[in-house]
Structure 1
Amino acid sequence: MVKAVLTNRPNAAGPVLLYFHDPMCSWCWAFRPVWQRVKSGLPAGVEIEQFLGGLAPDSTVPMPAEMREKIQGTWRTIERSVPGTRFNFDFWEKCVPRRSTYPACRAVIAARRQGADFEEAMIFAIQRAYYLQARNPSNDSTLIELAEEAGLDKDLFEANLRHPDTQVELLEEIRCTREFGVRGFPTLLLSHGREYSEIPVNYRDPEPILAAIAAHL
């Protein structure tokens, strides 16, 4: 794992909480309620930076049956272990699943270019579409629909979604994620200049996370 903090604010003097995620990661969906409470409960002076991990590259190949079963099994495990987390299994009948999350990651970057609030809105829109509405965020057409529903400029979003610079930015975030040694999502790291500490993820309660952050300040 690298020793230097590779953030978008390399000169930031204060602590930065790094959040590594993928909008189509089912465990990130399970973590969402706690993550929202962590963000609102952070000590003063702690900044947040989010990195897209790029769980699965672009693919036009339908997901094999074995992988479909594996992911559905993960959904069932999450429903049992994280109270309140729900999935709509109609997705597996209504859609043609592909192991491809890069389009959704690019959508987050495209939304970010219209403002930080739109980044968060797009992440939630993708998660809600995928996990609750049985819509496929691996398709650009779905992502464009979601952007319009979230109030983004549809034409600008579509242009940014497909712009080569968006892919370059995604690959840079994936590179940073790998240099940090992150192997799973969600992951939290707290940085102090060039030092950092991993913060254990708790899917049920934000307080242990906030306590761990406070202990390192």
Structure 2
Amino acid sequence: MKLIYVFDAYCGWSHGFSATLDEITSRHPELPVEVVSGGLFLGGRRQPLSAFGHIQRANQQISAVTGAEFGKAYQRLAAEGSFVMDSAAAARGVAALRQAAPGRAAELAVALQRAFYVDGLSLSDPATYRRLAETAGLDADAVVAAFEAPQTQAEAEADFHRAAELGVTGFPTLLAVDGGRATTLALGRATPDEVDGRLAHLGALPVF
């Protein structure tokens, strides 16, 4: 059995799920985690923050429900309003980080979201990936080169297709996959204990 985490780096609810993802991966290092970018802000949805009038209210709700932090640098970015969230660029970043450390994909996805939602950094900027790579002890030059490489765009698009093939309609979605069967463990939000309960029901964990 493995876990598949489908998220978007610019999705506030995915940011809110980070603590649960961290805890689940800490509790169950034996379960490999595949991280897939879902593609929330593509095409016509790729607009300035000011076009999404509900974001501030949504972030307040996310923080209240999950305890997620929305940092002052991000809040200044949101208040100014001109920043454009580009999920294709963020998915290239996920792919670049995943190439550098496949076994740490979940950890790096969480760090990527913190870079935006706490530190207010653009996920379209190569400097963001250099900083993340250096902090994680990865080869920063290799990560930046991968982010800028044409083939990484193909990986990002493959992620979007993968999410669709899995039937994912909202972010974040955490799936347990065993053979050809995929079971939803979380959609939008869930506590670590709720996820554990669902894993135990599948027989993936011992029940005491």
Among residues 172, 188, 193, which one is paired with 1:207 in the alignment? 193
1:90 match: secondary structure: helix
TM-score w.r.t. length of structure 2: 0.82
Sequence identity (%): 27
**CA-based RMSD:** 2.6
Aligned to 2:65: 81
Among residues 196, 202, 206, which one is paired with 1:216 in the alignment? 202
Aligned to 1:53: 38
The structure with the greater share of residues assigned to helix is: 2
Return the letter of the residue paired with 1:91: L
Aligned pair count?
Answer: 199
Return the letter of the residue paired with 1:54: G
- Output the CA distance in 1 between the equivalents of 2:174 and 2:107: 21
Is the aligned partner of 1:22 residue 2:8?
yes
* Structure 1 segments unaligned to the other structure (5+ residues): 1-14
Higher relative contact order (CA 8 A, sep 6+): 1
Distance 1:42 1:120, change over 3 A: closer
Q: Does the 8 Å CA contact 2:50/2:81 hold for their aligned counterparts?
A: no
Return 180-189 or 200-209, whichever deviates more: 200-209
Return the letter of the residue paired with 2:98: R
Return 197-206 or 85-94, whichever deviates more: 197-206
* Structure 2 segments unaligned to the other structure (5+ residues): 204-208
Distance 1:62 1:161, change over 3 A: same
2:175 match: secondary structure: strand
Return the letter of the residue paired with 1:80: A
Aligned to 1:71: 55
Return 93-102 or 24-33, whichever deviates more: 93-102
TM-score w.r.t. length of structure 1: 0.79
Question: What are the Cα deviations for residues 59-85 of structure 1, in whole angstroms up to 9, with x where unaligned?
Answer: 9x7516331x22222111212222x22
Q: Does the 8 Å CA contact 1:98/1:138 hold for their aligned counterparts?
A: no
1:54 match: secondary structure: coil
Deviation at 1:142, TM superposition (A): 3.2
Among residues 116, 138, 148, which one is paired with 1:152 in the alignment? 138
Question: What are the Cα deviations for residues 40-73 of structure 1, in whole angstroms up to 9, with x where unaligned?
Answer: 22395x43222111222379x7516331x22222
